[in-house]
Amino acid sequence: MTRFAAASALVAVLVACVATSAGARSTAGAGVRVGPAMPAIAWGVADDASKYADDGGAWFYNELKGASLTQNRWTLAWDSSNPLAINELPFLERAAPKAQAAGVHILLSLYSTKASEHDPAAFCAWAAKVAQTVSVWGIPPATTLCTGPTRPRT
The three state secondary structure string of 28-56 is HHHCCCCCCCCCCCCCEEECCHHHHCCCC
% of the chain exceeding 70 in pLDDT = 69
Note the pLDDT tens digit of each residue in 53-89. Answer: 999 999 999 999 999 999 999 999 999 999 999 999 9
Arithmetic mean of pLDDT, 88-101: 95
> Is 80 exceeded by the pLDDT of residue 91?
yes
Residue type, 30: A
Average pLDDT over residues 30-44: 78
Q: Is 21 in contact with 61 (CB distance < 8 Å)?
A: no
Distances (CA, A) of 69 to 41, 44, 66: 10, 5, 8
Q: Cα 139 from chain centroid?
A: 11
Smallest Cα–Cα separation from 128: which of 120, 137, 116, 118? 120
Residues 63, 64, 67, 68, Cα dihedral to 10°: -140
In the predicted model, is pLDDT for residue 32 greater than 60?
yes
